[in-house]
Structures are given as structure tokens and as C-alpha cells.
Amino acid sequence: MKGVIPLSTLILLSCNLAMAQDYSSRHTGIYFGASAGSAELNNNTFERLSNHGFSNDETTSGYQIHFGYNFTPNVGLELSYTDFGDYTSEISLPVQGSTLQEDIETGIEGAGLALVGKMPVTRGLSFYTKAGIIAWESTTLDVARMDDEQFMELEFKAEGTDPFFGLGAEYNLGRSAIRSEYARYSLADGDESFQIDMFSLSLSYLF
């Protein structure tokens, strides 16, 4: 008869609606997580030092703590604190029977805010991208020694607010999620520039 909806159709629609609501509830809300990985620096000062014979270590370990909110399974907002680690440059020179040693160490950290967009692929796997800004600060310590006796120590600071972007894959395990991410940070303060590529693995929990 016209206008009559079969009972089986109503049951199917109810099941689909319940599944959609369950999926949404498991992929929206507040989450917290932490990540660790490798951070690679490209810096104009370190490049000049390398041209003058300094030995640079521009790859180090970094970590991040993040806190976010998924408005929908596809859109979220994320706050983060990132410690990019310490990068070093050094040189050792013979000077009139003595040894001159100069060590330069740069540490960078910052707080970021990003918009996150997700594309579910399967029920557990999603790909995502993020774009945001980071308020950062770097501290560079320059120490010189002659035969292990320190005679100079200088400190330089740089800071700014600059953009960053990232992309990755996330796999949900109930309320927990594992994700692998690549992010690029393009930082600058006057003539000083830092480009950091960070590869990380993280674990997060959805409340």
C-alpha cells in the first residue's frame, strides 16, 4: 500500500542512525596526547658556521604535548607545546700550543594553535592535515674555552609568531589513538631563520 514504510526499512534506518551516533561519539570531544620524534633544523647561522669549519649537529630529538577538541569526526582545534630539542655546532683549533674550543648550542620551543581536518578511510584509520601558528623562542649559548678553561660565554635570543603545517595518519583504538605525523615549522626573527622538519609518533586519549 502507498504511504506504508516496511518494518524492515524502519529497523535498517534505526540501526544506521545508531551506528552513526556511536561513531560520532567515539570521534568527537576533548583529547590529550604526547608525541616524540626527530627534529631536523635548517638555520642560516649554522650554515655560515659550517662554511667556517664548524661541525654541526642539526638533527635531534624533540617532543610535544597536545590538547584538542574534535567538533566533528572531521574537524578539530588543537593546542600544543613543542620542545624541538637542542642543536649544536662546535670547532676545535690549535693556537700556539694550546687548543681553542668553541661550542654553540641552540634550543627552540613554542606553543601552537592549529585547525585539524580529518578524512576517515576506514572505521579506525584516518588521514589528517593541520595548519596553524606557533609562538616560539630560541636561546643560543656560545661558550669558548682555551685548554678546557672557559673565557667567554654569550647568550642570544630570538622569538616570533609564525605559521606551521602538518599531515599524518591516525588509527583509533577505542578511546585511544596512535598517530604518525610530519610537520614543518618556518620560523624567523629579523635576519635569523629556522626551518624545522619534525617526524613524530604520538599516543592520545579521547575523554
User: What's the CATH number where 181 sits?
Assistant: 2.40.160.20
Where residue 25 falls among pLDDT bands split at 50, 70, 90? very low
Residue 184 has phi, psi (to 5 degrees) of: -120, 130
Residue 179 has phi, psi (to 5 degrees) of: -140, 150
Q: What is the pLDDT of residue 96?
A: 83
Q: Is residue 74 part of a domain?
A: yes
Contact yes or no for 37/198 (Cβ under 8 A): yes
Report the percentage of the chain scoring pLDDT > 90: 67
Q: What is the pLDDT of residue 50?
A: 87
Domain that holds residue 59: 30-206
Residue 84 has phi, psi (to 5 degrees) of: -80, 0
Overall domain count for the chain: 1
Where residue 93 falls among pLDDT bands split at 50, 70, 90? confident
- CA atoms of 78 and 64, how far apart (whole Å): 12
Overall average pLDDT of the 153-173 stretch: 95
